[in-house]
Amino acid sequence: MLNSRILKNKIHFIDGKGYKAYQEIEGEYDFGKYQLFIDHVQGDPFAAPSKVRVRVNQKLARFPSALYQTKIRQIALTDYLARYFAQACRKFGTGLRGTGNSGLIAIDHGKQEILERSAVVINQDFVEARFVCGLPARGRTILGRAAEAIFFQAIPQIVEASLFYAALNQNELHEFIILAEDQEAIRSSLEQLSLVAFIGNGSILPRFSGASDAPLKGPRVVPFQSPPDLEVAFKVPNHGVIKGMGIPKGVTLIVGGGYHGKSTLLRAIERGVYNHIPGDGREWVIAIKDAVKIRAEDGRRVEKVDISPFINNLPFGQDTRCFSTENASGSTSQAANIIEAVEMGARLLLIDEDTSATNFMIRDMRMQALVAKEKEPITPFLDKVRLLLKDLGVSTILVVGGSGDYLDVADTVIMMDEYRPRNVTDRAKMITRQYQSNRKPEGGEHFGEIRPRVPLPKSFDPQRGRKIKVAAKGMETVLFGHYQIELDYVEQLVDISQTRAIADIIYYAWKKYFDGFRTLRQALEEVERDLDRHGLDIISPFKGKAGDYARPRKYEVAAAINRLRSLEIR
């Protein structure tokens, strides 16, 4: 490892030269209190910024091992440190100066969710931050003094402020970690209480706007308060007893008038698969980890999915036990989304009638009388939701405002009234006895078979011309070879860094596990085990330590693969 003076000399030597001369500074440098790694130098000022790491020995950083002794504590600590490092970048960074990204210093960091990330790594030996720098230039001429200011003024101040335990707000850090630990404790306890979700009393569910996931503030915001007959309590390791509404396994309806908070509650639950930062308002909104949001998705591709539990006897004899289409309808896309989620192991489906296909959800008595069953290919979700529970153990939480027929199949009915929940299950049962539907059940005796699918490796081609093209293009698009995978309607994807990881996981799984014999679920569970053992670095296809991944769930990875338009199933 070279002395930092050598880096300074190199910068002086290349000052005023063409941008390519920056390649000379790649390498490892000892700055005394920390080590600096310049892993990759950008090709020009407009290219993606250069990749840099700093590493502080634990003898100097002095982070207590108790802060990272468990997986959840390590995730929370590194998430917090990335946020703190980003804050220091804003405070001490030199700012954009020159052409393109010149002067940029930035690190990948989180928003409202606490995610496993690759931006910061900590263990008993060191703490390491991975970030990017825009090496400064005017046009394509190197600005040596500006580069020296980055490496010898800005970065040392950023490191001092964010990677030494003594420099941090230790009370804030401790609260951040133990909050995540307690959220995870509740998630782990839901099963033993036969619950699928929990909403803590005092939670703030509404968000600031459609463009901001921050909590809504103001005197009209209604804190969540559980109905007494649905209230449960959890004794957590750090925050004592947390009380709130438990949603039991089974079929749960969320009903109420428009604009009274039905969809807001469901959206909070869908994000409850993740832990949240202090002050988010949803810190105590917890869902089981295998909860999956389902919706209609007109136009998506479907490849050999057995949608026969819902759709049969299509015109022209198309086989729905092995259904494929380049342009799914609302009903076929929603059927495929459910089957694909259950195929991957989903145990809770979250559905909002607002984003569902009406003909997939309901078929009332009058329509049954008008259109005979043998002329209707669709078996509505109404007739399968209980069989899904009975045969496969999959619960459903469903927002309903317009179809009272669902009251016949519900175990629990929660009414939202001006953002306040009420348990109206008994009243709903009374109404079903008083006003009988008289529709004929059409779901049969069993839900139907979930067929595991085996992806064929030949259907994955990451090359575009001579180059490998695997990348995220924003949060909702993955580029894979010649194809764009659209993830606009995969609603539990929350961070572009997850999308970056999804892109490289597909490439990794294709190289290592898509062998034409493993099922999609088996292959992705192998990837999960690799991530558990080796961390996110394992999926990086390039030399160097990637600092811009956040770990996605297998459900979002599978959703991307299922939407790849070249996908072929055996």
Note whether 147 and 293 are same-domain residues: no
Name the domain count of the chain. Answer: 3
Q: What is the mean pLDDT of residues 6-27?
A: 97
For residue 123, being part of any structural domain is answered with yes
Same domain for 204 and 149: no
Q: At what angle do helices 71-92 and 170-189 cross, to 10 degrees?
A: 140
408 CB-near residues (< 8 Å, 6+ apart): 432, 437
User: Could you give the percent of the chain with pLDDT greater than 70?
Assistant: 100
Domain range for 256: 195-451
| Position 176 in a domain | no
Residue where one domain finishes, among candidates 402, 432, 451:
451
Q: What is the CATH classification number for the domain harbouring 384?
A: 3.40.50.300
Full 3-state SS string of 536-560: HHHHCCCCCCCCCCECCCHHHHHHH
Identity of residue 527:
V
pLDDT at 95 over 90: no
d(CA 120, CA 536): 11
Kindly state whether residues 250 and 376 are assigned to the same domain.
Answer: yes
pLDDT at 364: 92
Span 303-357, pLDDT tens digits: 999 999 999 988 877 889 999 999 999 999 999 999 999 999 999 999 999 999 9
Tell whether 306 and 386 lie within a shared domain: yes
Asked if 69 and 96 sit in the same domain, the reply is: yes
In a domain, 179, yes or no: no
For residue 141, tell me if it sits in a domain.
yes
Q: Is the pLDDT of residue 210 over 90?
A: no
pLDDT class of 98 with cuts at 50, 70, 90: confident
**Residue 249 banded pLDDT, cuts 50, 70, 90:** very high
CA distance 338 to 384: 11
Is residue 96 over pLDDT 80? no
Task: Flag whether 255 is in a domain.
Answer: yes
Same domain, 360 and 401: yes
Q: Whole-angstrom Cα distance, residue 206 to residue 204?
A: 6
Alpha helices (H) in 51-169, listed in sequence order? 58-61, 71-92, 144-149, 155-162
Same domain, 149 and 12: yes
Q: Is the pLDDT of residue 544 over 80?
A: no
**If 0-12 CB within 10 Å is exposed, 13-18 middle and 19+ buried, where does residue 241 land?**
exposed
Provide DSSP, 150-189: IIIIIHHHHHHHHSSGGGS-HHHHHHHHHHHHHHHHHHHH
* 73 and 89 fall within a common domain: yes
Could you read off the pLDDT of 401-449 as tens digits, one per residue? 989 999 999 999 999 999 999 999 999 999 999 999 889 999 999 999 9
In a domain, 180, yes or no: no
pTM for the whole structure: 0.95
Q: Read off the pLDDT of residues 144-185 as tens digits, 9 standing for 90 and up.
A: 999 999 999 999 999 999 999 999 999 999 999 999 999 999
Q: Residues 6 or more apart from 170 whose CB is under 8 A from it?
A: none
440: which DSSP letter?
Answer: P
Q: Residues 251, 390: one domain?
A: yes
Q: Tell whether the model's pLDDT for residue 207 goes beyond 80.
A: yes
* Residue 97: predicted pLDDT: 78
- Residue ending a domain, choose from 451, 473, 501: 451
Please list, in sequence order, all residues whose beta carbon lies within 8 angstroms of the beta carbon of residue 246, skipping any fewer than 6 positions away: 190, 193, 195, 197, 198, 230, 231, 232
Q: Same structural domain for residues 417 and 474?
A: no
> What does the chain come to in residues?
570
Domain boundary among 406, 430, 451: 451
397 in the same domain as 465: no
In a domain, 182, yes or no: no
531 domain-assigned: yes
- Same domain for 99 and 238? no
| Count of H-run helices and E-run strands, the chain | 15, 30
